[in-house]
Structure 1
Amino acid sequence: MIHPPYVKVGNIGFLIGLLLLGTGCETDEAQKVPIEKKTYCIPAALKERLVVDTVHMAPVTESRRLSGKVDYNPDRVLHYVSLVGGVITRTYFSLGDNVKKGHVLAEIRSVELSSLESERKSLESRLTVAVRNVQATQSMFEDGIASEKALLEAKSEERVIRAELEKTRANLALFSASEQRDVFQIKAPASGFIVNKNINDGMQIAAEGEPLFTISDLNQVWVTANVYASDLEFVKANMPVSLQTTAYPGEVFNGTIKALSQVFDANEKVLKARIVMNNQTLKLKPGMFIDVIVKKQTNAQALLAPQKALIFSNNRNYLVVYGSDCQLEAREVEILTRDHQDIFISGGIQSGEKIIAQNHLLIFEELQNAKK
């Protein structure tokens, strides 16, 4: 009798155990294989827009922001007052124009011009007669007809008339008289910008009245800053300052406090600090409001980095540390204090390490994603 094949229960358990053991070994082996982390490298297109800075030790500073205003340099301002009265027949300039010395800016029709012109013509005629009289008297003196006294009187009269004529001509030149147009011409006494204008065509003006216009050389301007009593310990004469205005975001102008008043302004209750600024680019316009930042140094030292390099994420402060294009680290740092555009660091980074100070947010996000 043939019996079906069979396997003892004990043997079945043994076989199942072997199978499970083999499977477990394969799982352990799979777990031992390390997962390769992706290394983030800065793309070439992004690298061109990066700004790299270096963390370094520096004196801890405290800043104050003062309100200021751009003014003309009074040593480079010229107010033009007419020496004659009359009617403005024509103007050749507008407010803000850049004019050159000697350019005709306006014309005045004046009764004084008619008077001077009439006097000039009369003196020229009298001088012609006086010259002929001298010549005739000289001839008669040589012939023994006229006396020496008569000759001297003739020459004296010629000199007097000639002097009066030169004076009249000088006055006409002073007023820039134009014989062709029968007007006085107002010419620019200096080169610069028209910063104030008080005349128009057809306007009646008086001699030595109000200034007709003002010319200023804007290549150098003054910035006047308001200093309150609470800011006095931060502001000293001859100290460097930085200036910023909303007209040019991100741009910093550097200057020096040349003078600090010692008497508080009765109306504003402030001292006035004067900063002389070179302005060849003409960016600083008179009347423009501007912020003046002054810094006071302390005796403490700390690591310094630009404020714009700092990243705040999940209630923590980070800097992107740069080793190379493929060696980057989002490093948590401890902030000691902040001062305007700077931060002072108490821990988390070493002096001399490089950080990315601009266009670094994308890199920070990539580094954070690489950790997940």
Structure 2
Amino acid sequence: YDKEAISSSAELSNAERNLAQAKELYNSGLSSARELKEAQNDFLIKQAEDKRAQATLKLNGGNNNGIYTIKSPLNGVVIEKNVTSSMQLRPDNDNSLFTIADLSNVWALINIYESDISGIKAGDEVNLAVLSYPDRAFKGKIEKIYNQLDDDSKVMNARVNIPNPGNILKPGMMATAQVAARSGIDLPVVNSRGVIFDDNKNYVLVLDSANKVSIRQVEIWRKIADKVYISKGLKAGDRIIASKQVFIYESLKN
């Protein structure tokens, strides 16, 4: 469009000069009225063509300085640019110049290990942490679970929808996800620091009403982040020791 507008402007200027010369020649008696009329008609045609070319250029965001304003059909952020300075833009090139994305809500693709598949469902709440904001948790929900394990990593993927006010989360960021899995039963939850693994078994140190410490074997249903769900060996209200527990455990065992 820019090339066409420049060409039409040049042709209009040339037609304007020809018309001026034709008027001088006609007034001097050196040309006929027909020749003057032809110059006038040519000027009017070139003038109309230039108006059309300039209107087309303006409609497509350009101006006579060769600058184009490209308007996106949607609001968002430029996440990919496929154009560089001095790059020639051709009408037969169908590749997009820019990629625009609405980042007010983003997706996170999380990995689910095979041992956790049974306890995770669509709709479960997810807390995500990213390195850029270590003290902030981003809450979302599992929107879709891809029911197929990757052949290499042996994990199943799930898509999490996350509100992203202020466009803080960026495409390509790495995140750690914690899923609040639903078991359908109420289980005691302890901090993983309070569980002692010894001889292929799990133990906790329980403090009774008389403040006496005893070793109790437990069975773990699931571990999510630093939380351990106990399926056997503890009940609600039991008090456990989670500080210097290894030292106390070794003392009691011996």
Q: Retained in 2: the 8 A contact 1:303–1:344? A: yes
Structure 1 residues 291 and 313, CA gap change in structure 2 (3 angstroms):
closer
Structure 1 residues 282 and 238, CA gap change in structure 2 (3 angstroms):
same
Alignment of 1:336 onto 2:223: no
Q: So what's the TM-score if we normalise by structure 2?
A: 0.54
Match of 1:280 in 2: 165
Gapped regions of structure 1 (runs ≥ 5): 1-83, 85-109, 126-160, 322-327, 366-372
Q: Retained in 1: the 8 A contact 2:124–2:181? A: no
Match of 1:113 in 2: 5
Alignment of 1:216 onto 2:101: yes
Match of 1:194 in 2: 78
Larger RCO (CA within 8 A; separation ≥ 6): 1
Letter in 2 for 1:184: I
Return the offset for 1:317.
3.5
Q: Retained in 2: the 8 A contact 1:198–1:213? A: yes
| CA RMSD between the two structures | 5.1
Within the candidate set 160, 169, 186, 1:301 is matched to 186
Alpha-carbon distance between aligned partners in 2 of 1:258 and 1:184, rounded to the nearest angstrom: 43
Structure 1 residues 257 and 311, CA gap change in structure 2 (3 angstroms):
closer
Gapped regions of structure 2 (runs ≥ 5): 17-46, 248-254
Alpha-carbon distance between aligned partners in 2 of 1:269 and 1:348, rounded to the nearest angstrom: 32
Alpha-carbon distance between aligned partners in 1 of 2:149 and 2:8, rounded to the nearest angstrom: 52
The 3-state SS of whatever aligns with 1:222 is: strand
Within the candidate set 58, 61, 72, 1:176 is matched to 61
Q: Retained in 2: the 8 A contact 1:193–1:216? A: yes
Alpha-carbon distance between aligned partners in 1 of 2:144 and 2:60, rounded to the nearest angstrom: 40
Q: Retained in 1: the 8 A contact 2:204–2:241? A: no
Structure 1 residues 196 and 335, CA gap change in structure 2 (3 angstroms):
same
Match of 1:130 in 2: none
Alpha-carbon distance between aligned partners in 2 of 1:356 and 1:221, rounded to the nearest angstrom: 41
Q: Retained in 2: the 8 A contact 1:113–1:184? A: no
Alpha-carbon distance between aligned partners in 1 of 2:123 and 2:155, rounded to the nearest angstrom: 19
The 3-state SS of whatever aligns with 1:112 is: helix
Aligned residue runs from structure 1 range 1-372, under 5 A: 110-115=2-7, 165=51, 168=53, 170-179=55-64, 182-189=65-72, 191-207=75-91, 209=93, 210-226=95-111, 233-245=118-130, 249=134, 252-261=137-146, 272-294=157-179, 296-307=181-192, 310=194, 317-318=204-205, 335-337=218-220, 338-340=222-224, 341-345=226-230, 351=237
Q: Retained in 2: the 8 A contact 1:331–1:348? A: no
The 3-state SS of whatever aligns with 1:183 is: coil
The 3-state SS of whatever aligns with 2:165 is: coil
Letter in 2 for 1:339: K
Q: Retained in 2: the 8 A contact 1:255–1:275? A: yes
Alpha-carbon distance between aligned partners in 2 of 1:170 and 1:264, rounded to the nearest angstrom: 56
User: Which entry has the higher C-alpha Rg, 1 or 2?
Assistant: 1
Return the offset for 1:256.
1.5
Sequence identity (%) = 25
